[in-house]
Structure 1
């Protein structure tokens, strides 16, 4: 019943906008985000709304966790229930196959040269890849009646455990809760067993010994209250991060109904949005780790043997990912695309290595990516 009411309300909003024509749509756009008010994502999107207006773009009204949930947002944009939305691409693996290929290569950001904020690099690399280097990605979004306006990345993933993990031997036989296949393959390569349970079940699973560790970013110590059941945190492995997000996707008809000036303003605001969200996902784990130390949780840096084993795994797993996307989703030239993304990750590590503030990061994203998008032609054909 709740979903039905939500859809009816959303459809009514959309009908009002569409019925009013392009001018009304340009005056105020609807934006669905499947996170609650006060969450990290919604706080950043509130800033995006302000920036869009500041830069001369349309007014935008956010609907946190009301019109559409995270899984419904992509289809909701396609059907023009809303004008804009926060799209989690891995929920729809076939629809966004080429973009998800890049997102699945997230562990490249945390091997080789290790920088303090790898999410900054992965955001830049994947956003540049999708918007500038991957016409197949742009076409995928167009088939879903969407225009992609940049992504975001979390901070790197760590091990939150009830037992200390320092080297490969410590992982033998351990039960690891994982959220994605790449971390599951890593766990198995290290001699552990992958366990697939929802994030909301993790607290109970750790407290009752159903799993020994969960693979997450450290912010979940606070966001999922895992601080209460975590005794040890191992940093440096498995690494990787979550990057499969269209942070401000817009319905294609809405985009085309805007003036070139309004589209330019949204692109500029989107650059800031990618920076602000990625920075918040960097700061939140730092806050969580500080509290963990204060609470007496032992924080361990992965030893060289475990780090080297992880590096070797990632080197082999990139070929596995290419093969999976070729076989399962028909992605063409997957090996070449992996090479392109790998080079972009290294480029963006260099660009963001010393960046620690939103303004600088947003400027780099704008200069390197968004300023190269022509608002008069992007998404208009």
Structure 2
């Protein structure tokens, strides 16, 4: 309907101008289910500024007020927002192909170590979805969305209301899990996984619904968790959160744009993916430095705990393949896992010096991945 309405408006404008049609300017509504000041808002606010600076389009970011995190995918699908910060793990069946790759995020912190594993995983996810996974693009299409890339968190660590110092301390705890692989880790250490939407973590920790949250230190400010976190155990479970489609856009909105407008948004999205990854990393580093002054004890895990997590990642690859094959009907899951692992290794090497350089990371996104996408057809079939 939106596409038809814009065609009618364009035709009317052409008639008024003696039959010469001109491109219609666009006003884009961008939804992010995090508050102002968060890493996600920072990235999408910069996205809006880049769009406005390089086109005749207007863009406004709505932080929390338009759609929360769980409402965003259907909200973009239905045109409530034109663009938004989508978390595919909230919809495991609808985004099964994308979630298969996101479930492999713990590969980012095993093997070769880099300062910001999120830079490698975000680029690996983005290349995989754009260039190697037509099934991923199809499922975004079924949600009436066009995928525009992925940014990721820094390393996942434990934020708890009780101290976790040993393997024994890990048992019988309730862990908030934001993705299936982290939930399996919680069960592997003898705990219970609890699914809580990101916007509800504060209350869940404050009321004892969960003992620990598994997420990056960025969420201490993103979700105002400094007040409810008393202990942080670093390095475990490891991995990053890669179940992100940073700037998904409604397909009807995308189709209504001129080729020049689509290119502007595409280039701005490369920077936005880099911005969210960098901002998450920078805020996590600052928050960990600030934590002791806010009454939070920082605990280093034992070697046994780190080894357990690394061994878990290796053994979990088979579980991931079986789960996505049997539960979600993903074909050739093992081959897809191997491809993602290959890409993670590739981008560890390419991004190892980019932890604090979002401009270089954005250029990498463009040169290695997004410049290879044919915008004359992408998202229009």
Task: Please indicate, yes or no, whether the TM-score normalized by the shorter chain is above 0.5.
Answer: yes
CA separation of 1:79 and 1:351: change in aligned 2, threshold 3 A: same
State the distance in 2 between where 1:207 and 1:63 align: 27
State the distance in 2 between where 1:38 and 1:174 align: 31
State the distance in 2 between where 1:249 and 1:41 align: 13
Is the deviation greater in 351-360 or in 83-92? 83-92
* Residue 25 of structure 1: how far off its partner (Å): 5.4
CA contact (8 A) 1:57 1:265 kept: no
Q: Which residue of 2 aligns with 1:71?
A: 70
Q: Which residue of 1 aligns with 2:254?
A: 255
State the distance in 2 between where 1:139 and 1:214 align: 32
Q: Which residue of 2 aligns with 1:357?
A: 357
* Residue 155 of structure 1: how far off its partner (Å): 1.4
CA separation of 1:16 and 1:286: change in aligned 2, threshold 3 A: farther
SS in structure 2 opposite 1:237? Answer: strand
Unaligned runs of 5+ in 1: 1-10
SS in structure 1 opposite 2:236? Answer: coil
CA separation of 1:372 and 1:300: change in aligned 2, threshold 3 A: same
Corresponding position: 1:246 with 2:245: yes
Q: Which residue of 2 aligns with 1:321?
A: 320
SS in structure 2 opposite 1:62? Answer: strand
Alignment of 1:131-146 (within 5 A): 131-146=130-145
State the distance in 2 between where 1:158 and 1:224 align: 15
CA separation of 1:73 and 1:226: change in aligned 2, threshold 3 A: closer
* Residue 148 of structure 1: how far off its partner (Å): 0.5
Q: Which residue of 2 aligns with 1:366?
A: 366
CA contact (8 A) 2:38 2:221 kept: no
* Residue 31 of structure 1: how far off its partner (Å): 2.3
Q: Which residue of 2 aligns with 1:306?
A: 305
CA separation of 1:294 and 1:325: change in aligned 2, threshold 3 A: same
Q: Which residue of 2 aligns with 1:192?
A: 191
* Residue 15 of structure 1: how far off its partner (Å): 9.4
Alignment of 1:172-211 (within 5 A): 172-197=171-196, 202-203=201-202, 206=205, 211=210
* Residue 203 of structure 1: how far off its partner (Å): 4.9
CA contact (8 A) 1:14 1:82 kept: no
CA separation of 1:278 and 1:57: change in aligned 2, threshold 3 A: farther
SS in structure 2 opposite 1:214? Answer: strand
CA separation of 1:223 and 1:78: change in aligned 2, threshold 3 A: closer
Task: Normalising by structure 1, report the TM-score.
Answer: 0.87
Q: Which residue of 2 aligns with 1:35?
A: 34
State the distance in 2 between where 1:63 and 1:18 align: 27
Corresponding position: 1:20 with 2:9: yes
C-alpha distance after superposition, 1:227-274 (max 9, x if no partner): 334333111100122222221112223222322222222111110000
CA separation of 1:311 and 1:75: change in aligned 2, threshold 3 A: same
CA separation of 1:359 and 1:340: change in aligned 2, threshold 3 A: same
State the distance in 2 between where 1:235 and 1:213 align: 12
State the distance in 1 between where 2:199 and 2:60 align: 29
Alignment of 1:141-180 (within 5 A): 141-180=140-179
Higher helix share: 1
CA separation of 1:288 and 1:137: change in aligned 2, threshold 3 A: same
Q: Which residue of 1 aligns with 2:234?
A: 235
Is the deviation greater in 104-113 or in 60-69? 60-69
Task: Normalising by structure 2, report the TM-score.
Answer: 0.87
State the distance in 2 between where 1:246 and 1:112 align: 26
CA contact (8 A) 2:145 2:251 kept: yes
CA separation of 1:199 and 1:86: change in aligned 2, threshold 3 A: closer
Q: Which residue of 1 aligns with 2:380?
A: 380
SS in structure 2 opposite 1:154? Answer: coil
CA contact (8 A) 2:85 2:247 kept: yes
Corresponding position: 1:92 with 2:91: yes
State the distance in 1 between where 2:200 and 2:26 align: 42
C-alpha distance after superposition, 1:178-203 (max 9, x if no partner): 33332222122123333445556655
